Amino acid sequence: MADREIMYRDALREAIDEEMAANAQVFIIGEGIAERGGSYKVTEGLLAKYGKKRVRDTPIAEAGMIGVGVGAAIAGARPIVEILYVDFAMLGMEMIVNQAAKFRLMTGGTGRVPFIMRTQGGTGGGVAAQHSQSLEALFYHIPGLKVVMPSTPYDAKGLLKYALRQDDPVMFLEHKHLYMTKGMVPEGEYVIEFGKADIKREGSDVTLIAWSNMVPRAMAAAAELAKDGISVEVVDPRTLSPLDTGTILASVAKTKRVVIVQEAVRRGGVASDIASIIQEQAFYDLDAPITIVAGLNTPIPFNLELEKASVPQVPDVVAAVRKVLHHDIPMAAE
Amino acid sequence: MPKKPSAGNTRPRALLEKIYKTAKTIRVFESEGIKLYRRGLIRGYFHPYLGQEAIATGACTALKEGDYIASTHRGHGHCIAQGAEIKKMVAELLQKKTGYCKGYGGSMHIADIAKGNLGANGIVGAGTPLGVGAALASQIRGSDAVTVTFTSDGASNNGTFLEGLNLAAIWNLNFILVIENNQYAVSTTIEESTRETELYKRGESLGVPSRRVDGNDPLAVYDAIEDCAKLCREGKGPFLIEAVTYRHTGHHVNDPGSYMPDEKKKYYAERDPVNRARQYLLDMTDLTEAQIAAFDAEIEQEFADAVTFAEASGEVSVEEFKEFLETY
Ligand SMILES: Cc1ncc(C[n+]2csc(CCOP(=O)(O)OP(=O)(O)O)c2C)c(N)n1
Ligand SMILES: [Mg+2]
């Protein structure tokens, strides 16, 4: 079947729509998602199609919404809870961390929690410190949660469809900058399993690992470096938990140099954990220290220039790649 | 529904003048601020307080020096009513170094600690426990300061409301929770959000004396807060005031508010809080239309000067930012 170019938000909508059509257990709740179609227009049209029972607006009650989602999942439904900003998911952390993540183990595997929290994070648009965070590391840290961060419409659709068919709690983290980006998506049915990284660009000189909105920046950096004959392999893990270490390590074995890019603050981040996995399992493959390009250890400032300075930009990625490439060449004093 | 304006009585001219000027200043700030936004000078969120001016104005005018307020995402009005400098507010919206937060915060995070304003807030409902905390600090340090948290109909469905107000109640804190019931959370109506739309009743269920006032009448709000603040200082707090009102605009500058029915807009436009403050001046003082027009001109000039000031100001540099982060 033919591919079409659609937006990330349309891809998400298609995934929800198709799974709602296929499975009556799927429902969605969130603030302004019904009549208004959601702040990012992901749920537009779903109310008309599936009715008030399965497409519901909620009051501003994140702890409650997340909690009822978890409870419904335990009881066999497949809820999607849309939280406007990942920053607001902090109000529901109890339900995510103590309830959803632990239920399966606490019940000796007899209970399952097919709960999906869809939300979005990241900087952009001057929405300042409480609406701009990249908080994947908080969820990544918690055993029992799946952490999904799609960077393209294709991945967004396939991963969300898969999420709605598996049985564990999923933190489905979108990015505010990506909703209007476009990409090719097949018309036919497909899903993307968790734990399968995607090589977004093949290359042989450096492995560049990036997810979510850092993927387009990594791709832009790779394109720029290609002009100088530098061949960059861009690896998008797509799901951080589970993490496809196999694909990452195979790429490292080939290129011997690694740069990891994350928008989140560096301290305690996922990039640091990936670096630790690589150094432990592929230390002798490496020709240069692993370099991390990450957000500064800061809340996101409102001011545009400071906001930009807080998170990795394309030139930062380009510079990091050059640095790991020239690591073994003595450099002139800076 | 709202009571009639507290007409008929007489009030000191100074009070009525202060109320009018404050409400008008908020009106000008928001109307002109929207224009700056449309010109691309302001980025991010901007939630206008247009239509709700009576609440911040009435409440803050009834407070004393040393009292605290906690605000919301729709916070410009509270900030102004609590005595903020307009030029520092405009500078903040224009992300300048001379702004209240040096451009780090923006519209949703303006705080004016010196004036007891604990800040606007990007998280709906956060101001309730924060305000209760300020009231607790006052009690512990033996001060009779009162804290007013401005909250909203939407926030009253959030867990922070119950937990915060209950703590204030069991500890008899000098705390007044003002629910600005503008009847919407973005486009979600209050009827869709709760079965009991008389929100003050939630306070009663916690043993907190609670009542509803006309949130478009600055004197009604002033009287309610003055009364509650006095009783708080006698150890009889906390209190809850539900002020019923309606926005003039959509939720934020980019929301056309198409879900707001014309009849309702008209109903509240006829009860416009700034016009009411103005009418009080005409009814209860000997000020003339011309004198009031002179106030207006002064307020408009102050805003224009603030824009000039902000536009001439610089921004925090990336180097200064990084230096600040060394201590973070
Ligand atoms: C915890 C949280 N959830 C959601 C939001 C997004 N949001 C911002 S304002 C708003 C509506 C608020 O309605 P209400 O509390 O009635 O205040 P109003 O805007 O009417 O002043 C929402 C949902 C938020 N900022 N914080
Ligand atoms: Mg409201």
- pLDDT band with cut points at 50, 70 and 90 for residue A2: confident
Q: Examine residue A192 and state whether it is found in any structural domain, yes or no.
A: no
Please tell me the predicted confidence (pLDDT) of residue A329. 53
- Bridge partner residues of A173 (DSSP): A119
For residues A36 and A156, state if they share a domain. yes
Closest chain A residue by Cα to residue B120: A130
* Exposure on the CB side of residue A166, measured as CA atoms within 13 A: 19
* Average confidence (pLDDT) over A54-62: 98
Q: Tokens at residue A80, please?
A: 């999607």
Q: Which fold has domain B13-327?
A: Rossmann fold (3.40.50)
Beta-carbon contacts of B160 under 8 Å, excluding residues fewer than 6 positions away, are: B125, B126, B128, B129
For residues A126 and A61, state if they share a domain. yes
- Mutate-to-test residue for ligand 1 from A40, A60, A93, highest number of ligand atoms within 8 A of CB: A60
* Exposure on the CB side of residue A140, measured as CA atoms within 13 A: 20
Q: How far apart are CA B271 and CA B284, in angstroms?
A: 18
Q: Examine residue A162 and state whether it is found in any structural domain, yes or no.
A: yes
Q: Examine residue A160 and state whether it is found in any structural domain, yes or no.
A: yes
For residues A145 and A264, state if they share a domain. no
Whether B1 has a pLDDT exceeding 50, the answer reads: no
Whether A333 has a pLDDT exceeding 60, the answer reads: no
Query: What are the pLDDT digits (tens) for A15-34?
Result: 999 999 999 999 999 999 99
- Preceding peptide of B5 cis, ω within 30°: no
Query: What are the pLDDT digits (tens) for A214-252?
Result: 999 999 999 999 999 999 999 999 999 999 999 999 999
CB of A70 within 8 A of CB of A100?
A: yes
Residue with tokens 């993490």: A243
The closest of B253, B250, B309 to B37, measured between CA atoms, is B253
In a 10 Å sphere around its CB, with 0-12 CB exposed, 13-18 middle and 19+ buried, how is residue A70 labelled? buried
The closest of A323, A230, A237 to A277, measured between CA atoms, is A237
Beta-carbon contacts of A142 under 8 Å, excluding residues fewer than 6 positions away, are: A96, A97, A101
Q: Examine residue A27 and state whether it is found in any structural domain, yes or no.
A: yes
For residues A309 and A242, state if they share a domain. yes
Closest chain A residue by Cα to residue B91: A303
* Average confidence (pLDDT) over B171-190: 97
CB of B238 within 8 A of CB of B168?
A: yes
Q: Determine whether the shortest distance from the Cβ of B73 to ligand 1 is under 6 A.
A: yes
For residues A126 and A154, state if they share a domain. yes
Q: Which domain CATH number covers A111?
A: 3.40.50.970
Q: Which range marks the domain in which residue A24 is found?
A: 3-186
Looking at the complex, does the CB of residue A98 fall below 8 Å from at least one CB of chain B? no
Per the document, the length of chain A is: 334
Q: How far apart are CA B155 and CA B72, in angstroms?
A: 10
- With an 8 Å Cβ cutoff, are B188 and A63 in contact? no
For residues A30 and A141, state if they share a domain. yes
Q: Tokens at residue A10, please?
A: 């349309």
Instruction: Give how far Cα B121 sits from Cα of A21, A61, A172, B117, B151, Å.
Output: 40, 16, 26, 11, 10
- Preceding peptide of B261 cis, ω within 30°: no
For residues A312 and A218, state if they share a domain. yes
Looking at the complex, does the CB of residue A309 fall below 8 Å from at least one CB of chain B? yes
Q: Examine residue A315 and state whether it is found in any structural domain, yes or no.
A: yes
Per the document, the length of chain B is: 328
CA of B123 to the centre of ligand 1 (A): 7
Looking at A130, A160, A186, which one is the last position of a domain? A186
* Average confidence (pLDDT) over A198-205: 98
For residues A173 and A71, state if they share a domain. yes
Please name the member of A59, A301, A303 whose beta carbon is closest to the beta carbon of B193.
A59
Residue with tokens 């900003």: A85
Whether A199 has a pLDDT exceeding 70, the answer reads: yes
Closest chain B residue by Cα to residue A131: B122
Torsion sign, CA atoms A308, A311, A313, A318: positive
Residue-averaged pLDDT of chain B: 96
Question: Own/partner pairs for B30-38, CB < 8 Å, 24+ apart?
Answer: B30/B76, B30/B77, B32/B300, B32/B303, B32/B307, B33/B76, B33/B90, B33/B93, B34/B249, B34/B253, B36/B90, B36/B93, B36/B94, B36/B307, B37/B253, B38/B253
- With an 8 Å Cβ cutoff, are B321 and A63 in contact? no
Beta-carbon contacts of A38 under 8 Å, excluding residues fewer than 6 positions away, are: A30, A32, A44, A82
Query: What are the pLDDT digits (tens) for A287-332?
Result: 999 999 999 999 999 999 999 999 999 999 999 999 999 876 555 5
Q: Which residues of A are catalytic?
A: 131
Residue-averaged pLDDT of chain A: 97
- Bridge partner residues of B229 (DSSP): none
Q: How far apart are CA B178 and CA B36, in angstroms?
A: 30
- With an 8 Å Cβ cutoff, are B328 and A305 in contact? no
Residue with tokens 């536009």: B311
Q: Work out the minimum CA distance from B136 to partner chain A, whole angstroms.
A: 23
Percent of chain B with pLDDT over 90: 96
**Chain B interface, best mutation among A133, A302, A305, by max B CB count within 10 A:** A302
The protein residue whose alpha carbon is closest to atom 8 in ligand 1 is: B124
ipTM of the complex model: 0.94
Residues of A in contact with B154 (CB under 8 A): 59-60
Q: Which domain CATH number covers A272?
A: 3.40.50.920
Query: What are the pLDDT digits (tens) for B218-257?
Result: 999 999 999 999 999 999 999 999 999 999 999 999 999 9
Q: How far apart are CA A15 and CA A153, in angstroms?
A: 10
**B282 by DSSP, 3-state: which?**
helix
Instruction: Pinpoint the alpha helices (H) of B171-272.
Output: 190-193, 200-204, 218-233, 262-269
- pLDDT band with cut points at 50, 70 and 90 for residue B9: low
Q: Which amino acid is at A227?
A: K
Q: Tokens at residue B204, please?
A: 């009663």
- The values of phi and psi at residue A292, to 5°, are -110, 130
User: CA angle at residue A261 from A260 to A266, to 5 degrees?
Assistant: 95
Please tell me the predicted confidence (pLDDT) of residue A330. 53
CB of A192 within 8 A of CB of A155?
A: yes
- Our count of domains for chain A comes to 2
CA of B22 to the centre of ligand 1 (A): 25
DSSP letter, residue A36: T
Residues of A in contact with B45 (CB under 8 A): 127-128, 131
Looking at A160, A186, A212, which one is the last position of a domain? A186
Q: Tokens at residue A190, please?
A: 């497909």
Domain boundaries, chain B: 13-327
Q: Examine residue A333 and state whether it is found in any structural domain, yes or no.
A: no
Q: Examine residue A332 and state whether it is found in any structural domain, yes or no.
A: no
- Bridge partner residues of B267 (DSSP): none
Looking at A141, A162, A186, which one is the last position of a domain? A186
Whether B192 has a pLDDT exceeding 50, the answer reads: yes
Q: How far apart are CA B263 and CA B159, in angstroms?
A: 33
Q: How far apart are CA B279 and CA B7, in angstroms?
A: 10
Please tell me the predicted confidence (pLDDT) of residue B109. 97
